[in-house]
């Protein structure tokens, strides 16, 4: 079985118990989770707004 990529694992944990989160919530959590620099850069580039988990994943993968 393959390991989930760090971004998917981060989002799975972050969205546990949450339907939608703001880009600011995601950014603060990414810093607290000590994500690798390349992922932090993508999270920092996330446009302002609220995101469901699938929307956040799609937006972050397209950056």
Percent of the chain whose pLDDT exceeds 70: 95
Report pLDDT digits (tens) over 14-32. 999 999 999 999 999 999 9
> Distance of CA 27 to CAs 6, 35, 38, 44, Å?
15, 10, 13, 6
- Cα–Cα distance between 54 and 34 in angstroms, integer? 22
Distance, in Å, from the CA atom of 25 to the CA atom of 10, rounded to the nearest integer, reads 13
Please classify residue 11 by burial: count the beta carbons closer than 10 Å to its beta carbon, then call 0-12 exposed, 13-18 middle and 19+ buried.
buried
pLDDT for the residue numbered 63: 85
pLDDT band at 1 (very low <50, low <70, confident <90, very high): low
Q: Rounded to two decimals, what is the model's pTM?
A: 0.89
Give me the mean pLDDT over the 47-52 stretch: 97
């Amino acid at each position: 079985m393959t390991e989930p990529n760090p971004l998917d694992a981060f989002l799975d944990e972050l969205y546990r118990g949450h339907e939608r989160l703001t880009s600011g919530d995601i950014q603060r959590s990414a810093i607290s989770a000590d994500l690798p620099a390349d992922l932090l850069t993508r999270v920092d580039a996330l446009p302002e707004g609220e995101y469901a988990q699938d929307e956040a994943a799609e937006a972050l993968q397209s950056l």
